[in-house]
Chain A
Amino acid sequence: MRTTRWQRWSGLLFIAPWLITFLWFTLGPFIASIFLSFTNYRFIGLPEWVGADNYVRLFTDDPKFIRSIINTLYYTAVHVPGIMVMAFFVAILLNQKVKGQPIYRTAFYLPSVTAGVATAYLWILLLQPNGLVNQFLGIVGIDGPNWLTSSTWAMPALILMSFWGLGTTMIIYLAALQGIPQHLYEAASVDGAGVIRKMWHVTVPMMTPAIFLTAVLQIIGSWQVFTQALIVTNGGPRDSTLFILLHLYRTGFEYFQMGYASAIAWVLFVIILVFTVIQFGVARRWVYYEGSAER
């Protein structure tokens, strides 16, 4: 009896490494950041309790914060549907039986793996007034703007750049496409369904779990845009690409207003939470899981 009890509890030893780092670097800081968000703390000295002042200031006296929320919403509204449609389209193409698919798949997937600072600097060069992007637009007769110095075009430039990284979304769709049972298409053919109807009545319903997953991931990801915004545009011109995380970074680690930055972090957390909860709530209405009765 004693050995069984020891056996039971000692199972915790296996998960202890994760549990320790979780308590130390996640749960502890998570609770601490609630506390810090109600203080004035400048990285030296002691935190000074200010009540809800930080939150009041965020929503009444910080135009940059409001701007960063609007910018992030703008990015989300264009980036998320855009990348999902493009990735879906590319996945369909990559699922056709034609020669050279491994090569095409690599070409479309690789940019999402290498995404980071190096490719962000590369895009600065591509987006110059006489850079590759505008040369390409010139071929189709469009006079491209000066992307990075225009407060109108800087955000579209970042969104354009984000489409280069559709690989992860595309691979998820491709895996889902290949998991659709062939007999569903056969049944649809027997019923006389054409290309469009098969797409709409077989492919799309069977893909909804993958579409849902990528929607959740992309929306969470949009609220965490940082590298591109810092490297390519540095939030500018005139705060047109100031993302919420960049605002958090500057507040906390350039101006060392760590209490205030914690309040930004908490608003960010609540936003991500709300978006995710809403999506899971709505999912029941449109996501089809094979084997489950409801649709």
Chain B
Amino acid sequence: MTNDAPVLATPPPISVSARSHSAESTASAGLATGLSAPVGNSGQTAYGGEPITVRSNAVRVVRALTRALIYLLLLGGSVMYAIPFIYMVRWSLMTTSQVYDPDLFWPFPPAWENYSYVWQHHPVPWWLFNSFIVTFIGVTVGTFVSCVVAYGFARLDFPGNRVIFMVLLSTMMLPLHVTIIPVVIIFRELSWIDTLWPLIVPGLGGGAFYIFILRQFFMTIPIELDEAARTDGASRIGILFRVILPLSKPAIATVAALSFIGNWNEFFLPLIVLNSPERITLPVGLRYFAAGQYTEQLHTLQMAVAMISVVPIIVVFFFAQRQFVRGITLTGIKG
């Protein structure tokens, strides 16, 4: 992948392009000197020219300006992306009259009573409870079952393994929305409408995407470890629990994190199958405040409920940030 340019005996131009530093994580990159000379070109040349020791002031100025611009863009962009969250907190802590005050940015004292009000006067505890139940079962049982299924695909030689795995891959292209009508009819026949079962049971078989991630990871574990365990008398289930799972903690954590977000944010299905005020989940419950979109008291209360639904995600995100990022590389996008 070199380009066709002839070899030049001049100092290479400075680089502000994306130089990868895969060995170091971005987290530890803070101490690096930044946009210095491209790696491998410091000081002398290996291509026949004279040693390059003098850098003009112009180059240095350009480099400093580029660096300043990068900081400016990163800081400015981060602030822009964070501000909506700050507004959510701000509104959730305002009284109705404060919303009308254009000069007031931050309410003081904060109207914490918005939170106690929604907690006591709306079925918010129920919504939180329902969301929690669905998410908890989805994350624990769903992730575990996904591991078992992924193990089957990765390691066991049953008839049709390949074909069934191809089917599993193709279901990732098939959105729930295409099958939603018959699915809801099934739920009605089972008398599951207005219960949490429709949100729980389909996930008990493991998710196709999660199985895919785990299977890819399991495939990277040397088969010799399985064989060694088998010689020691381990059964297939024993190998799963004592060899595969302990070595797959990063992948399992990634799947659990993705499953948490997926379950917690799920909206389309609960919107259709849940009705009663105390049986809905948080995302559906938020709609209860939409009746008067243009009355300010509802804004503040709604933002309080929005905070209740967003804060758990943020907490999980900060604990599992690396798992999210790792999930991308686990899918093997590098081809």
- Enumerate chain A interface residues (CB-CB to B < 8 A): 8-15, 17-22, 24-26, 28-30, 32-33, 36, 43, 90-111, 113-119, 121-126, 130, 132, 164, 171-172, 174-182, 184-199, 201-203, 205-206, 209-210, 213, 220, 224, 226-227, 231, 245, 248-249, 252-253, 258, 261-262, 265-266, 268-269, 272-273, 276, 287, 289-290
Contact = CB atoms under 8 A, between A and B. Distances in A.
A220 B5 contact: no
B78 to A, nearest CB: 4
B83 interface: yes
Interface string B236-256: 100000000000000000000
A172 B181 contact: no
A149 to B, nearest CB: 11
Interface string B293-335: 1000001001101110110011001000100110011000111
Nearest to B4: A191
A185 B164 contact: no
16 contacts: A94-B26, A98-B29, A111-B84, A113-B261, A114-B313, A117-B287, A119-B306, A132-B87, A174-B26, A180-B22, A189-B15, A202-B3, A206-B1, A224-B177, A231-B287, A265-B180
Interface stretch (B50-58, B108-116, B143-151): B143-151
Contacts of A179: 20, 22, 329, 334
Contact of B179 (A188, A198, A249, A265): A265
A33 B268 CA distance: 18
B191 interface: no
Q: Is the interface of A mostly helix, strand, loop or mixed?
A: helix
Nearest to B19: A185
- Chain B interface mostly helix, strand, loop or mixed? helix
B16 interface: yes
Contacts of B47: 190
A111 B81 contact: yes
A172 to B, nearest CB: 5
Interface residues of B, number: 123
B65 interface: no
Given A98-B34, A122-B87, A252-B181, A178 B1 contact: no
Interface in B162-195: 164, 167-168, 171, 173-175, 177-186, 188
Given A186-B38, A187-B2, A33 B179 contact: yes
A96 B34 contact: yes
A189 B83 contact: no
Contacts of A126: 84, 87
Contacts of A14: 148-149, 151-152, 156, 236
Nearest to B34: A97
Interface in B44-96: 46-47, 67, 70-71, 73-75, 77-79, 81-85, 87-88, 91
